[in-house]
Amino acid sequence: MSQLHNLGTHEKRMSDHPSTWISASELTTLYARKVLSPVDLIDAMVERASRLQPSLNAFVLIDGDGARAAAKDSEARWLKGQPLSALDGVPTTIKDTTPVKGWPTRYGSHATDETAAGENAPIVDRFQAAGLILLGKTTTPEFGWKALTDSPLQGTTRNPWNLKHSPGGSSGGASALTAAGINPFNHGNDGGGSIRIPAAHTGLVGLKPSYGRIAQYPADAPFADVISQGVLARSVLDTALALNTTAGPDPRDWRSLPADRRDYTVGLDDGVRGWRIGLSLDFGHVKADAEVRELVAEAARHFEALGAHVEDVGPLIEPLQNSFEPLWIGSFATRLRQIPTQLHGKLDPGFRAAAEKGLAITLADYARSYEAKSKLARDLALWHRKYDLLLAPVTPTAAPPVETLYNSDAFPRWTKGAPYTLPCNLTGQPAASMPAGLTKAGLPVGIQLIGPPRADHLVLRAMRAYEGSCGWTWPQQRVVETLTAL
C-alpha cells in the first residue's frame, strides 16, 4: 500500500467508474492533496491494461515493473511538495514507431528485431524529465503506413466502442487505450492524419501540433517533412498540458521550431466570439457519409451559438493523389530498399504493393510534389488572412470494420482514408479532431479544427470552446458497457 491514502469514493469523479478514467489534470490535483498516490494508480492501470489487452490488443509491451518504480519516485516528490511538473506521476505510453531507451522499436514489422534503442526520442526525454510514467509501447500498422491498426507482427487492434471495428491508425493502440479508460492520454504521431483519424474513430481529443512544434528524431526521410508528435487525450486541458511539457526544439532536429515559452493553458477559455470560421464539408471533392456531414454541420451551429460567424466556403482543396502520391509511395520504396529481399514476403501486402509501386518514382516526380506542397501551404496561409479557423470532417466515414483492406478499391486512401487530414501535414499548420457525436450504429465521428500556420494556441482555444458546448464527457457509458462485458 502506498504512503498516501487510496482514492476514496467521495473523491471519484463518477462513483461507478475506476480512477483510471480520471483526467491528468485531476490526477495531479489529487496527488497534491495527498488523497491519491501514483503507486496505487499504476497498480490499477496495469491491472486494467492487462485485463483488456486480450480484447483490444493495443499494447506491444507493458512495463509494469518500470512503471511502478517510476511511480514510487513520483510519490516521493509529491510527498515533499516538489513535483517535476504539472504532469508528474501521470501515466502515458509511447507509440512503437518512436524510440525509448532500453526498449525495442518494432514498427509492427518482422523486418525489425528486438534490439533495444540506445537513446530516447525527444518527446520521450520531455515526458521523463517532467516525471510522467511510461506504461509501455502501443501498436501501429507496419511502419505506420495506414489509417487502420493491424500489422503482421502484432495482429489487429480493436476499437473499444465496438470490437468489430478499427480504432483507426496509425496511432490506433494509443487511441484504444485512451478511449478504454486505461490512462488519461497517450503518445501518437501524425504524418497524414495518424493522431486525428484514430481520435475521431474513438471519440477523443487529438491535436496535430504545428510542424516542428515538438522536436522529432530520428527523422525518417521523406516522412520527416510531414510528421508531428502529439497525444490522444480525453480533454482539451490535458492536451494543452501535454503540449506545455513536450513543445520545444532539440539539437537532433534542425527543423524544430524555436522555444516560444508559451503556456498553452493561458487564454484557453477566451472563446471564439467574433471569429470568422470557414466551413467545408467536402473540400470540393470528398464524398462523406450523410451522418458525418450532418454531425459536422451541427458542430458549425455550436460555433455560431458561441458567437462565431460561420460561412460555407465551398471548394477549397483540389484532389491530392496526382500531386502527392509520389511522396507517399516514394517513402515506402525508400523503406523497402532497406529491408532484405528474403523478408519481403513477411510484409503487409498492402504496404509492399504501395512500396513496390513507389520504386518507379523519379526525381522529377518528387520535384513536382514538393512544388505542389509549397503552393498548397501558401494558398492556405493566404486563405487564413480572412478566416480564423477552418471547420471540416476528419474522415468521410466512421470507424471501418477491422477486416477492411486499406488502399483497396473498397477503401482507397485518397478518397476514404485521409482526404481531409493529409493537407495539414503537407502545409504544417495545426489541426485537431474533436468528438462530434455518434452515428446510428453507435460509432464516434470527429470534427476537424484547422488553424493558421503555427497558431496552436488558437486551435486549442477553439477546441476548448467547442468542448464546453457540445456536452461530450468521459467516461462514455457505451464504452464502459462494452468493456464491462468482457
What is the DSSP secondary structure assignment for residue 387, as one 8-state letter? -
**Bridge partners of 137?**
61, 94
Terminal C-alpha separation, the chain: 28
Question: 214-230: per-residue pLDDT in tens?
Answer: 999 997 666 788 999 99
Give the CA radius of gyration of the chain.
21
Question: 108-131: per-residue pLDDT in tens?
Answer: 999 999 999 999 999 999 999 999
As a whole number of angstroms, the distance between CA 157 and CA 245 comes to 28
Q: Quickly state the pLDDT bin for 53 (edges 50, 70, 90).
A: very high
Q: Quickly state the pLDDT bin for 161 (edges 50, 70, 90).
A: very high
pLDDT of residue 14: 33
pLDDT of residue 389: 98
b/e map of 416-444 (b: 16 or more CB within 10 Å)? bbbbbbbbbbbbbbbbbbbbbbbbeeebb
Q: What are the extents of the domains in the chain?
A: 9-484
Cβ-contact 130, 207 below 8 angstroms: no
Is 95 tagged catalytic? yes
Q: Quickly state the pLDDT bin for 3 (edges 50, 70, 90).
A: very low
pTM for this entry: 0.96
pLDDT of residue 11: 36
Q: How far is CA 315 from CA 284, 319, 403, 416, in A?
A: 4, 11, 33, 18
Catalytic residue among 194, 210, 256, 331: 194
- Mean pLDDT, range 364-377, rounded to an integer: 95
Q: What are phi and psi of 444, to 5 degrees?
A: -70, 150
Which residues have CB under 8 Å from 398's CB, separation 6+? Answer: 165, 201, 289, 291, 292, 439, 441, 443, 444, 445
As a whole number of angstroms, the distance between CA 455 and CA 449 comes to 12
Question: Percent of the chain beyond pLDDT 70?
Answer: 96
Q: Which of 478, 477, 480, 476 is nearest to 204 (CA)?
A: 476
Mean pLDDT of the residues in the chain: 94
Q: Quickly state the pLDDT bin for 484 (edges 50, 70, 90).
A: confident
Cβ-contact 57, 151 below 8 angstroms: no
- Mean pLDDT, range 285-293, rounded to an integer: 97
pLDDT of residue 222: 60
Question: 247-270: per-residue pLDDT in tens?
Answer: 999 999 999 999 989 999 999 999
Write out the three cell numbers for 97. Answer: 514507431
pLDDT of residue 4: 41
Residue identified by cell 507482427 is 153
Write out the three cell numbers for 316. Answer: 477549397
Residue of 485 and 416 predicted with greater confidence: 416
Question: 59-114: per-residue pLDDT in tens?
Answer: 999 999 999 999 999 999 999 999 999 999 999 999 999 999 999 999 999 999 99
Catalytic residue among 170, 235, 331, 369: 170
For the 9-484 domain, the top CATH level (class) is alpha beta
Question: 413-423: per-residue pLDDT in tens?
Answer: 999 999 999 99
Question: Counting Cβ atoms within 10 Å, is residue 68 exposed (0-12), middle (13-18) or buried (19+)?
Answer: middle
Question: 376-403: per-residue pLDDT in tens?
Answer: 999 999 999 999 999 999 999 999 999 9
Residue count of the chain: 486
CB atoms within 10 A of CB 312: 11
Cβ-contact 221, 255 below 8 angstroms: no
Question: Counting Cβ atoms within 10 Å, is residue 52 exposed (0-12), middle (13-18) or buried (19+)?
Answer: buried
Residue identified by cell 520527416 is 224
Which residues have CB under 8 Å from 430's CB, separation 6+? Answer: 207, 208, 209, 210, 213, 424, 450, 451, 454, 455, 456, 459
Q: How far is CA 200 from CA 95, 166, 232, 371, 450, in A?
A: 18, 11, 10, 30, 14
Cβ-contact 200, 178 below 8 angstroms: no
pLDDT > 50? residue 9? no
Cβ-contact 180, 187 below 8 angstroms: no
- Mean pLDDT, range 140-159, rounded to an integer: 98
Catalytic residue among 95, 208, 373, 416: 95
Is 228 tagged catalytic? no
Q: Based on DSSP, count helices (H) and strands (E) in the chain, helices before strands.
A: 14, 13
- 3 state DSSP class of 54: helix
Is 194 tagged catalytic? yes
pLDDT > 70? residue 13? no
Q: Quickly state the pLDDT bin for 19 (edges 50, 70, 90).
A: confident
pLDDT of residue 2: 47
pLDDT of residue 239: 98
Question: 319-356: per-residue pLDDT in tens?
Answer: 999 999 999 999 999 999 999 999 999 999 999 999 99
As a whole number of angstroms, the distance between CA 471 and CA 114 comes to 45
As a whole number of angstroms, the distance between CA 4 and CA 34 comes to 6
